[in-house]
Amino acid sequence: MGGKMPKMPEPPPVDTSVQDKMAASEAKLAAEKKKATSMRMKGRGGTIMTSGEGVTEEAQIGKSILQTY
């Protein structure tokens, strides 16, 4: 009953070509997303009306005609 177990053969080598292709595909997709995002962000620069300092004009503090009632 306590006989020796036969040795199991070693498993065949793992084919990594599928993982390599998936990694390359994911890298390509990430690069495309980054490029598309940067293209969208370039158009937003023209919509900023003030600089980093904020509004530099003087505020109008005088009363208007409508406020005299």
Chain-centre distance for alpha carbon 44: 17
pLDDT of residue 28: 96
Task: With a cut of 60, say whether residue 69 has pLDDT above it.
Answer: no
pLDDT of residue 64: 67
Task: With a cut of 70, say whether residue 11 has pLDDT above it.
Answer: yes
Q: How far apart are CA 4 and CA 16, in angstroms?
A: 35
- Annotate 31-60 with b (16+ C-beta within 10 A) or e (fewer): eeeeeeeeeeeeeeeeeeeeeeeeeeeeee
What residues does 38 pair with on adjacent strands?
none
pLDDT of residue 40: 78
Task: With a cut of 90, say whether residue 29 has pLDDT above it.
Answer: yes
Return the closest-CA partner of residue 28 out of 20, 16, 18, 17.
Answer: 20
**Average pLDDT for residues 53-60, to the nearest whole number?**
75
